[in-house]
Structure 1
Amino acid sequence: MITQTEATIFLAEQRGCSQTDRFRSFHNFNFGSYQDEHRQPFGCLRVFNDDTLAGETSLKMNIDENTEVILLPLVGAVEYKNSLGETGFVEAGQVQIFSATQGMEYEITNPYSDELVNFLQIWLSGEKEGFTPGLTQTTFDLQQRNQLLSLFSTQSTGYIGKFGGREEGIYEVQSPETHGVFIFVIEGAFEVQNRLLHPRDGLSLQSVEAVEFEALSNDAILLLLEVVF
């Protein structure tokens, strides 16, 4: 691994939490009633929520500025509808990018009667001018192991990968001067830039030209975002 660089670790057990008997959301950054001076947005990455919905439960979200909403199911599938009149399903192995202008809203529903669903909601601030609302949904295959697979490419970019134990990887940052990198471990354990990360831990990095990582367990899954500052 390369020499240690300046970074911020977001430990899973130190995340903010909103919870009812039907819904639970863990927050890596300030969201709703959870406010912490050390959890300000990371560049254009404003929201990174790890959500679980009980059966036949819905969650409605309102957008307060132009935003790229990334919806990434991890377990099960969710039903969605939004201000564009779009409806449908997103399931594990798919990612949805909803380009939402200020004032739009969307709703996520667990379509199952007695199963939990788990998904990530990620909000990236969009451009103030020339921002066009729209919806894109793509599929990825984690059977393509030991490599980072592209999830989306807007102003920012996102990747996901499943790695075997002791498999190593390196990500070359596209714009080190103006971009930062946020890492989130979905499953397993990784060493990233000499930091040990367990499931649902996060790591933010700035002013780095490359990010090196090594999977420390089999079938370990990593999410990597390169975001604009």
Structure 2
Amino acid sequence: MKILNPGQIYLADQRYLMETTAIRQYSIFNTGSFYREHQQPLGALQQLDDIILAGSKSTTLVADQPLYYVLLPITGKVSYQQNKSATTITDVGQLLLCSVPANTDIVRSNPYPANWINYLQIVVQNTSTASYPGAQTFHFDLDAEPDTLINITGSDYPFAISIGRFGGRREATYFLHSRQSRLFAFVITGAFELEGRLLHERDSLALWDIEEAELEALSNNAVIMLLEIKA
């Protein structure tokens, strides 16, 4: 019998929902007045929110401290703007990574008149003194690299993001940079078994004290994102 490594599951139906006529935001970690003991931020990973935004609507996040902001569209394009600067459009198959200074307004908008869009936003603390580009757009192609974990962000940042789409019963192994790193997995579609845990669509899993993580897709066209917070 395989020994389970230390970890914590975050079920999709236990996320906090903030809903208006313009937005539905599902937050995995504690935010605002929402607090649960077992849903505190995972080290430097402060937020991972699943956002559905109505046509022509916008939403703003205020960065009180330096941070890394990651935008990953799931359906539709997303418009991104900082402090009324130039607008960046990010599409499916792209990931926007921004190094954001303190006291910055981060505005995301839906460029479509009527259609809703869905995207993930990830917020990571930035305590580094290293210099990174203000904004970078990374490209990936799930069709060109099936059944593979695609390293999107490379090795330059204090975290690494990978994504993969798998056929049923396809397997992969993710190797962490060090045993002191923490790994956070988010299932975008389908179902997976990851290190002995069953994860359904929009479920998440945090793992630590590991050197590698084995996953197996339990459905066709299952998509998973992995975020490693390096030690």
TM-score by length of 1: 0.95
Judge which range, 113-122 or 78-87, deviates more: 78-87
Judge which range, 37-46 or 186-195, deviates more: 37-46
Quote the Cα distance in structure 2 between the aligned partners of 1:81 and 1:15: 27
Please say if 1:155 is aligned against 2:148: no
1:192: which partner in 2?
Answer: 194
CA deviation digits over 1:148-205, x for unaligned, max 9? 112214101000000000000111111112x100000000000001110000000000
Which residues in structure 2 correspond to 1:31-180 (within 5 Å)? 31-83=31-83, 85-132=85-132, 134-143=134-143, 144-153=145-154, 154-177=157-180, 179-180=181-182
CA contact (8 A) 1:101 1:131 kept: no
Change (3 A) 1:140 1:133: closer
CA contact (8 A) 1:66 1:128 kept: no
Quote the Cα distance in structure 1 between the aligned partners of 2:95 and 2:8: 26
Aligned pair count reads 228
Change (3 A) 1:73 1:49: same
CA contact (8 A) 2:177 2:230 kept: no
Q: How far apart are residue 131 of structure 1 and its match? A: 4.8
Quote the Cα distance in structure 1 between the aligned partners of 2:219 and 2:25: 26
CA contact (8 A) 1:68 1:99 kept: yes
Ranges in structure 1 where 5+ consecutive residues have no aligned partner: none
CA deviation digits over 1:67-90, x for unaligned, max 9? 110000001111121138231211
Quote the Cα distance in structure 2 between the aligned partners of 1:39 and 1:86: 35
Quote the Cα distance in structure 1 between the aligned partners of 2:25 and 2:131: 28
| Aligned alpha-carbon RMSD (Å) | 1.5
TM-score by length of 2: 0.94
1:207: which partner in 2?
Answer: 209
SS in 2 for 1:98: strand
Quote the Cα distance in structure 2 between the aligned partners of 1:84 and 1:214: 43
SS in 2 for 1:113: coil
Which letter maps to 2:210? V
CA contact (8 A) 1:100 1:133 kept: no
1:4: which partner in 2?
Answer: 4
CA contact (8 A) 1:101 1:132 kept: no
Judge which range, 32-41 or 63-72, deviates more: 32-41
CA contact (8 A) 1:50 1:121 kept: yes
SS in 2 for 1:13: helix
CA deviation digits over 1:86-117, x for unaligned, max 9? 31211111100010011112111111111110
Which letter maps to 2:218? L
Quote the Cα distance in structure 2 between the aligned partners of 1:137 and 1:195: 32
